[in-house]
């Protein structure tokens, strides 16, 4: 009989009994830095692991790092991060008190012919699945009471592929497979891409309202 291929061990599953809090996060961050569970690591500068308060009650989950985040090694520090900061401030949430991460930890991009720009590409289901153990580990370490999914990619990764932001946005949802309540809302980048100033204002107001609901929910927990 031909020898079978060795089982593929996801690096996140090598971390057992990871302590909660800062120490556990540092351990996970170090192992995630060498993750090759999907092909995205090859073209990205670095793994962008989640950041923020290690015992945060609120976790914000985006899609994947963008160009700026890929270079900085931190989530939501580029234009989308500035929009997120604005919405958090308007909702009365201190970013220092939350944990911010993404469903995919490497920047997926394609070159723009004749330019040095790196164009964001949406992660596919295989890449999202390959990265999932890192999100699960972040949840296990941080143990937030509530998760806010920013945009369709994060919302569908958490709530299932049938979820639609246009239908379920801004509701406090039970996500039994996920182990905690979830609010799905607009991605800050979608607000930056809004077609008209009116759309932009409406989407920003919705993001702020959804974050305010998240703040109220964790206060009441
Ligand atoms: N968009 C995301 O989804 N995450 C980031 O970290 C930055 C931009």
pLDDT tens-digit series, residues 153-172: 999 999 999 999 999 999 99
Write down all domains in the chain, each with its CATH number in brackets.
18-220 (3.40.470.10)
Ligand 1 within 6 A of 188 CB? Answer: no
- pLDDT of amino acid 4: 61
Q: What are 124-139's pLDDT values in tens digits? A: 999 999 999 999 999 9
Ligand 1 within 6 A of 63 CB? Answer: yes
In ligand 1, the atom with minimum distance to the C-alpha of 62 is 3
Q: What is the distance between the alpha carbons of residues 65 and 27, in angstroms, rounded to a whole number? A: 20
Q: What is the distance between the alpha carbons of residues 127 and 212, in angstroms, rounded to a whole number? A: 31
Q: What are 43-77's pLDDT values in tens digits? A: 999 999 999 999 999 999 999 999 999 999 999 99
- Among 75, 99, 134, name the best residue to mutate to test ligand 1's pocket (greatest count of ligand atoms within 8 A of Cβ): 75
Q: What are 30-40's pLDDT values in tens digits? A: 999 999 999 99
Q: What is the pTM of this model?
A: 0.94
Q: What is the distance between the alpha carbons of residues 129 and 121, in angstroms, rounded to a whole number? A: 16
């Amino acid at each position: 009989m031909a020898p079978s291929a060795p089982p593929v061990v996801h690096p996140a599953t090598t971390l057992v009994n990871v302590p909660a809090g800062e120490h556990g996060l540092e351990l996970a961050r170090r192992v995630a830095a060498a993750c090759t569970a999907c092909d995205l690591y090859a073209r990205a500068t670095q793994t962008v692991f989640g950041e923020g308060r290690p015992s945060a009650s609120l976790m914000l989950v985006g899609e994947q790092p963008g160009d700026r985040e890929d270079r900085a090694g931190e989530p939501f520090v580029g234009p989308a991060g500035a929009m997120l900061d604005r919405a958090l401030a308007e909702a009365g949430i201190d970013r220092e008190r939350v944990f911010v991460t993404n469903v995919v930890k490497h920047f997926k991009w394609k070159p723009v012919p004749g330019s040095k720009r790196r164009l964001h590409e949406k992660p596919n289901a295989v890449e999202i699945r390959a990265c999932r153990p890192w999100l699960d580990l972040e949840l296990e370490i941080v143990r937030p009471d509530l998760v806010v999914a920013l945009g369709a990619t994060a919302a569908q990764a958490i709530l299932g592929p049938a979820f639609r932001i246009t239908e379920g946005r801004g509701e406090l949802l039970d996500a039994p497979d996920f182990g905690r309540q979830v609010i799905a809302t607009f991605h800050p980048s979608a607000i930056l891409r809004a077609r008209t100033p009116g759309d932009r204002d409406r989407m920003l107001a919705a993001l702020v309202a959804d974050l305010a609901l998240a703040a109220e929910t964790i206060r009441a927990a």
